[in-house]
Amino acid sequence: MSGESAEEKKGTHFQRVAALKETRPYSPCRAACPVNTDVQAYVGFIAQGRYTDAFEVIRSVNPIASVCSMICHHPCEQSCRRCSVDEPLAVRPLKRFALEKSSEYRRNKRRLVEKTKGKSIGVIGSGPAGLTAVNDLADLGYKVTIYERHPVLGGMLAAAIPPYRLPREALKEDIDDVVAKGVEVKTNCEIGRDISLKEIIANHDAVLLAVGLSSSRSLNIPGVEGPGVLLAIPFLEDVAFDRKPDLGKKVLVIGGGNVAMDVARSARRLGVANVEMVCLESAEEMPAWKWEVDEAVEEGITISHRWGPKAVRREGDKVKGLEVVKVTQVFDTNGRFSPTFDNNQTKLLEADTIIITIGQMANVGFLKDSAVQVDDRGRVAWDPKTQMSSAKGVFVSGEVVTGPGSAIAAAASGHKSAMAIHLYLQGEQIEDHLPSYEKEKIPQMPPDVIEKINREPRMPIKHLPPETRCNSFASFEFSYDEETALKEAGRCRGCGGGAVVDKNKCMACLTCQRVCPYGAPVVTSYSEIRPEFCQACGLCAPECPGQAISMVSYDVREVRDTMKEIVGPLDASRSEPLVVAFLCSHHLGVLGYRLPENVRTVPVHCTSRVDVNDILKAVECGADGVAVVQCAGGSCKYKGIGQRVAARVERARQLVAMLGMGAGRVELLTADSSDGKSYATVCNDFSGRIMELGLRKR
């Protein structure tokens, strides 16, 4: 590897780790993500202050990363194994932090991608599914043209999600990444009005329909037709494009889902003080995310549960209110949606404007008289195994065929469609060759392991107070600052990133079994390390005499292989010692991450991963001193590692002494915020001691 640059070495490490990870069960957070974002990997990079590396992991599978950092429903958090310990990791806010810290790097990476395939693809719709497919196809070397009916790209992300939830500058970052690859864009282009589907098919070698669910469903009740009754999507489009409808003094929103929350909260921001929601479900049954409901209630929105719409009452053309009937049951005994009502219990909910948010459907009128078949319910006929419609060469993606879901789930559909189109245009079989996101995951932690894990509170996200945030459509959620982000990232247990054994090298010597604090290894004729027990501390890998243990989350050789670049060129005229410091990143957010310029920092998730060879490599590369900086006793992320780390440092000291350089050039230091010993403090003190020993001359 000596001929490789630092970036090439880093890429090689990533490839090694990525290849190993694909042979192992996924962490629960990664398995829960619809596109299998490697959460454990990018959170680990954040904890080390390696924000651009975190960006690369995030963006490698998710072209709408900034969007997801703002609006994702974060199934990864709901699957986090910390849920059984205290609180889940704040994955979405950490993603936002990493992306914002990498913004300049990200923009500088944008490049035109050469069109090498000689094929052209038309994509109708630029929502999450469309953007993802466009991104993948552009990367593969295809010429891609987007047809979007709105004046801007983004589909329903731009036209329906309110700016307070999704700031348009975040969406623009994702769109700019994709368009910069040389994608042709045609906005304000409605199929059937500005161009026909037949023309698009004739102009391209393949076509993708990614039109989403852009129309609202209405209700078949008396009085619903006429002024004062609006549908959700047209209303949200008015909000998105700064068209302000006259809503009166009281708005009533019918529905209990996330779209209903967007509508109600948008109405508040349009100056309506009295906003009420009415839904069939109880508070526990509402389909909206709990945090959305909580935030809406904070903003003064009232919710009437277990009432169903019966009729819109009017005085002339003017809406008077909504007559509702009591709901006795929403779901049948099999859990299917089947509401029943008590017609003897009715009441009138007064309102000036009623907004209906009971569901969405696709607008597929442009498919009339085309080869793409649509059933009586307005659904596009398609084959999930090939992503193709009934028309050869016309593919479909996203909610238009999958039904309502999350943006990241639509992105997963976009990935599949892009691969299907690629295989089709290359004349290869599609079926059984599309990506699958259903992955085996490691089990939950056993109770005896849970008991060994320190309880640490989740770092809260700050919001503008309700009375302030309701005055505008500006985002009301604050990003983590660097200190807070590092604290939160340190809570990650690294699930699924632990140790694996090469049985061909294993001597069944029992070393790993003796040193593991969590009882993960089981040794028979060779060692096997149980992933549900393993906490990815890395203690076992340096101890293995046969070098049979690798780590899933990192390359055990990474530090020594890149040490020359870490140390950098040596200045013979230097007046300060050049110090390499291995820092436990678990407390970077508490103990400081700003060190003197003469200190080359190597953040590690725990000092348990630092090998004697890593320390010696720093000395070999010219460091005047090497410090392994651990956190104070009792605050370590892992149990039972202190003695082993101390023994390794002592062994390195002995070897350095044998080389005639003095054992004092290597030290094990302890930082502790309780007595003011920050990383900077202990490294400064160590640097002073090295200065007394004298600078090394080569």
DSSP 379-403: PBPEETTTTEESSTTEEE-THHHH-
Asked if 690 and 577 count as a contact pair (C-beta separation under 8 A), the reply is: yes
Residue pointed to by tokens 């203690």: 539
For residues 582, 56, 32, 489, the Cα torsion angle rounded to the nearest 10 degrees is: 30
Asked if 323 and 252 count as a contact pair (C-beta separation under 8 A), the reply is: no
Q: What is the DSSP string of 260-303?
A: HHHHHHHHHHTT-SEEEEEESS-TTT--S-HHHHHHHHHTT-EE
Q: Is the alpha carbon torsion for 78, 80, 86, 87 positive or negative?
A: negative
* Confidence at 501, pLDDT banded by 50, 70, 90: very high
What does the pLDDT read at residue 227? 95
Mean pLDDT rounded to a whole number for the chain: 94
Q: In what order do the strands lie in the sheet with 120-124?
A: 184-186, 143-147, 120-124, 206-209, 394-396, 388-389, 382-383
Of the listed ranges 11-25, 213-227, 350-364, 489-503, the one predicted with least confidence: 11-25
* Confidence at 1, pLDDT banded by 50, 70, 90: very low
pTM: 0.93
Question: How is residue 561 written in tokens?
Answer: 């292989």
Q: Is the pLDDT of residue 214 over 80?
A: yes
Burial class of 36 by CB neighbour count within 10 A (0 to 12, 13 to 18, 19+): buried
Backbone angles phi, psi at 49, to 5 degrees: 80, 15
Count of CA atoms in the C-beta half-sphere (13 A) of 100: 18
Q: Is the pLDDT of residue 385 over 70?
A: yes
Residue 640, H or E segment = none
What CA–CA distance (Å, rounded) separates 677 from 617? Answer: 27
Q: What is the mean pLDDT of residues 472-484?
A: 96
Asked if 203 and 120 count as a contact pair (C-beta separation under 8 A), the reply is: yes
What CA–CA distance (Å, rounded) separates 540 from 535? Answer: 11
Q: What is the 3-state secondary structure (H, E, C) of 114-128?
A: CCCCCCEEEEECCCH
Q: Is the pLDDT of residue 416 over 60?
A: yes
CB atoms within 10 A of CB 343: 8
Q: What is the mean pLDDT of residues 553-560?
A: 91
Residue pointed to by tokens 């023994």: 647
Q: Is the pLDDT of residue 282 over 90?
A: yes
Give the 3-state secondary structure of residue 673: helix
What CA–CA distance (Å, rounded) separates 629 from 615? Answer: 12
Tens-place pLDDT, residues 53-79: 999 999 999 999 999 999 999 999 999
* Confidence at 592, pLDDT banded by 50, 70, 90: confident
- The amino acid at residue 443 is P
Pairing of strands 206-209, 120-124: parallel
What does the pLDDT read at residue 4? 62
Count of CA atoms in the C-beta half-sphere (13 A) of 267: 33
Backbone angles phi, psi at 511, to 5 degrees: -60, -45
- The amino acid at residue 155 is G
Q: What is the mean pLDDT of residues 365-374?
A: 91
Asked if 592 and 487 count as a contact pair (C-beta separation under 8 A), the reply is: no
Phi-psi region of 537 (alpha: psi -120 to 50; beta: other; left: phi over 0): alpha
Distance in angstroms between the alpha carbons of the first and the last residue of the chain: 24
What CA–CA distance (Å, rounded) separates 447 from 541? Answer: 25
Alpha helices in 48-127, H assignment, sequence order: 51-61, 65-71, 75-79, 91-101, 103-109
For the chain, list the domains and their CATH numbers: 1-25+496-556 (3.30.70.20), 47-109+446-491 (no CATH), 111-213+362-436 (3.50.50.60), 216-359 (3.50.50.60), 559-693 (3.40.50)
What CA–CA distance (Å, rounded) separates 440 from 438? Answer: 7
Q: What is the mean pLDDT of residues 649-673?
A: 95
What does the pLDDT read at residue 12? 65
Residue pointed to by tokens 């864009």: 185
* Confidence at 330, pLDDT banded by 50, 70, 90: very high
Asked if 629 and 583 count as a contact pair (C-beta separation under 8 A), the reply is: yes
* Confidence at 80, pLDDT banded by 50, 70, 90: very high
Question: How is residue 193 written in tokens?
Answer: 């009005």
Tens-place pLDDT, residues 421-461: 999 999 999 999 999 999 999 999 999 999 999 999 999 99
Asked if 626 and 579 count as a contact pair (C-beta separation under 8 A), the reply is: yes
Q: In what order do the strands lie in the sheet with 229-231?
A: 229-231, 353-356, 250-254, 274-279, 302-305
Distances from the Cα of 479 to the Cα of 53, 440, 460, 464, 485, angstroms: 19, 33, 10, 12, 9
Q: Is the pLDDT of residue 325 over 50?
A: yes
Question: How is residue 299 written in tokens?
Answer: 């903003």
- Rounded percentage of the chain residues whose pLDDT exceeds 70: 98
Distances from the Cα of 551 to the Cα of 264, 453, 548, 672, angstroms: 49, 20, 10, 28
As separate numbers, helices (DSSP H) first and strands (DSSP E) second, the chain gives 27, 25
